[in-house]
Amino acid sequence: MQDLRLLQLYPSRITLTNPRTKKQFHEMKFNSQCRSFFYDREKAAIKNFATVKNPFIISKASKKKIMDSINSMYCLSQPRKVEMKTGKIIFNYRLSFVTLTLPSKQIHSDTQIKKDCLNQFLIELRKNYGVDNYVWKAELQKNENIHFHIILDKYIDFQALRRRWNRIINKLGYVTAYSEKFQKINLSQYHATRNRMAPCSFEKSKTAYAAGERSKWLNPNSVDVKSVYSKKDLAVYLSKYITKPVSKNAAGAENLERELAFGRAWYRSYSLSSLKYQNKFLASEMQHLIKYLLSVPDKVLCITQQFFTAFYFSPETLSLAFQEFHKKYILANALMYRYPIPT
């Protein structure tokens, strides 16, 4: 019997879906279906207007979009060698995970910082470094400052990112406030401050204090950059920062109004939002591929429900033949949508 299911290829999964069948006109209960349709739609509309959505609580649909976008970036960013300004070579570089923080107590609204600082930072990345593909997500720190996580596929020296971000946030006075605070404290007080944030040795505090003194505390460590070399690295960063579950009551009622006023708490570049996956095949033509995926259960997670079957995988862990097949169609699909491949 011919398998009429539809097979669709994505960067980190393959799905099998049943073909849709249309009912004949004489089989439809027209009046009852119309009443049910309009009643359900009206009920859903009332529910949507009544429900106030917290942008910091990422829905399942949004998580799926974020995961697909980041997996697309990873898959389409081929491993490459980059040289740091220090002369150190980074092998197999694929993505960068950037965290932007405020070095002093936040005194402006979240929306103003997003508008005046984050947006300006992203504009400068696009203009000066050719960053076309990225995903960012906002998060509230324990000290109630807003901070941002960004995943991008271009290597940029972290010192350059720090100088740029510090210059931008100092339009609102955050670097100046940091400098004024730390110029008034001695080494012991500085070490105690660092220890409260994260345990560290006195020698490390001494080195950092000396560096701060040399720069007159005008170059705070407000940017953290980590390179992504493998799918394992990516999974760690995704689970820890991007798609981690947030309790609806985590921030407390006092922060609810602040969160609701923020607007979108995550965003992806146009190149990623416009990227669709048109790699579709009849399952009957791809039986050899399905058999292979079922033959490696230790490398492929298979989930079967009533209307679909999904195979989740990391392409680099599978056979070379599968990797070539996967790479060919994912790349062809990206080029069809004029996705900017990083070099």
**CATH code (residue 167):** 3.30.70
Query: DSSP letters of 46-66?
Result: HHHHHPPPPTTS--HHHHHHH
Backbone φ and ψ of 297, nearest 5°: -65, -20
264 pLDDT above the threshold of 80: yes
pLDDT tens for residues 84-100?
Answer: 888 889 899 999 999 99
Tell me the pTM. 0.85
Asked if residue 293 belongs to a domain, the reply is: no
Q: Report the range of poorest mean pLDDT among 30-34, 114-118, 261-265.
A: 30-34
**Closest C-alpha to 139, from 161, 175, 110:** 110
pLDDT (mean) for 228-256? 70
Lowest pLDDT segment from 1-5, 95-99, 102-106: 1-5
**Residue 200: its pLDDT value, please?**
87
User: Could you tell me the end-to-end alpha-carbon distance of the chain, in angstroms, rounded to an integer?
Assistant: 46
> Of 153, 136, 134, which is closest to residue 96 (Cα–Cα)?
153
- Residue 195 confidence (pLDDT) above 70: yes
Q: What is the mean pLDDT of residues 128-153?
A: 93
Does the residue 79 lie in any domain?
yes
Mean pLDDT of 206-232: 92
In-domain check, residue 124 = yes
Position 249 scores a pLDDT of 45
Q: How many Cβ atoms sit within 10 Å of the Cβ of residue 86? A: 7
8-state DSSP, 177: H
Helix, strand, or coil here: 167? helix
Single out the residue of 97, 99, 171, 96 nearest to residue 138, CA to CA.
Answer: 99
More confident residue, 32 or 302: 302
Residue at 318 is within a domain: no
Assigned token pair, 199: 């345990």
Within a domain: 302: no
List the strands of the sheet with 134-140, edge to edge.
223-228, 95-100, 146-152, 134-140, 266-268
Whether residue 22 is predicted with pLDDT greater than 90 in this model: the reply is no
CA atoms lying within 13 Å on the CB side of residue 109: 10
Q: What is the pLDDT of residue 242?
A: 77
187 CA to centre of own chain: 38
CB atoms under 10 Å from CB of 83, counted, come to 10
User: Which one, of 177, 178, 102, 104, lies nearest residue 138 by Cα?
Assistant: 102
Residue 142 token pair:
């324990």
Is 325 within 8 Å of 281 (Cβ atoms)?
no
DSSP H helices, the chain, are 30-50, 60-76, 110-113, 119-129, 158-169, 174-182, 187-197, 202-214, 231-237, 256-260, 270-273, 287-295, 320-336
Average pLDDT over residues 38-55: 60
Domain hosting 106: range is 60-183+218-273
Cα–Cα distance between 250 and 252 in angstroms, integer?
A: 6
pLDDT, residue 252, reads: 54
DSSP-derived secondary structure for 89-103: EEEEE-EEEEEE--S
User: Does 4 reside within a domain?
Assistant: no
24 part of a folded domain: no
Of residues 282 and 245, more confidence is placed in 282
Number of folded domains in the chain?
1
In a domain, 44, yes or no: no
* pLDDT tier for residue 196 given thresholds of 50, 70 and 90: confident
Q: Are 312 and 303 in contact (CB under 8 A)?
A: yes
